[in-house]
Amino acid sequence: MKRFKEKLVEFMSGRYGMDQLYYAMLLLALGIMMVNMKVDNLILMILSDGIILLMILRSFSRNISKRARENGKFLKIWNPVKRNVRIFIRRIKEIRVYRYRKCPNCKKTLQLPIKRGKNTVKCPKCQEKFNVRVIL
Ligand SMILES: [Zn+2]
């Protein structure tokens, strides 16, 4: 077992290894596989196998700078998505306490305690006053 571990470390030295894109591809491939358990489609099977193959080839790659650039491109798209998902989840959790509205003047998102009906809100950033309607 120890020899195997040493050999693996030796094999992976100078190779790229895993990054965020690796895990994203893994999750994507697993997701496709789960869907494919229901629909049993050949194209989906080829697609998920292709993603896994590509994922493994990337991790074994010796062209580290190129792989890092790929990961950087992926993160550029993924990070804003992740941020929006986090904000969305937070708003759902706080739905009984706060409402969020954008200031029409400076576009800052304001966290407002729930006051049902029509209210006038003053933006703390730009002092603009605007109406907010909270129905539920
Ligand atoms: Zn404002």
| Every domain of the chain and the residues it spans | 2-93, 97-136
Q: Residue 113 C-alpha to ligand 1 middle, in angstroms?
A: 17
What local confidence, expressed as pLDDT, does residue 116 receive? Answer: 86
d(C-alpha 100, C-alpha 28), whole Å: 32
Contact 16, 58 (CB under 8 A): yes
**83 alpha carbon – ligand 1 mean position (Å):** 22
Are 114 and 99 in contact by the 8 Å Cβ rule? The answer is yes
R_g of the chain computed on alpha carbons = 24
Ligand 1 centroid vs 93 CA: distance in angstroms?
Answer: 25
Residue 136: the pLDDT is 74
What is the structure's pLDDT at 134? 86
> Given 3-state DSSP classes, what are the helix, strand and coil percentages for the chain, each rounded to the nearest 5?
60, 15, 25
C-alpha torsion sign, points 58, 64, 70, 73: positive
Write down the pLDDT at residue 127.
Answer: 95
What is the Cα–Cα distance from 128 to 110, expressed in whole angstroms? 12
Q: How far is the CA of 111 from the centre of ligand 1 (A)?
A: 12
- The pLDDT of residue 1 is 72
Mode of pairing for the β-strands spanning 98-102 and 129-134: unpaired
Q: Are 70 and 18 in contact (CB under 8 A)?
A: no
**What is the distance in A from the centroid of ligand 1 to the CA of 131?**
12
What pLDDT, on a 0 to 100 scale, did the predictor assign at position 75?
97
48 CA distance to ligand 1 centroid (A)?
47
In a structure prediction context, what are the per-residue pLDDT tens digits for the chain, which is 136 residues long?
779 999 988 988 999 999 999 999 999 999 999 999 999 999 999 999 999 999 999 999 999 999 999 999 999 999 999 999 999 999 999 988 999 999 999 999 999 998 888 999 999 999 999 999 888 7
Q: What is the pLDDT of residue 104?
A: 94
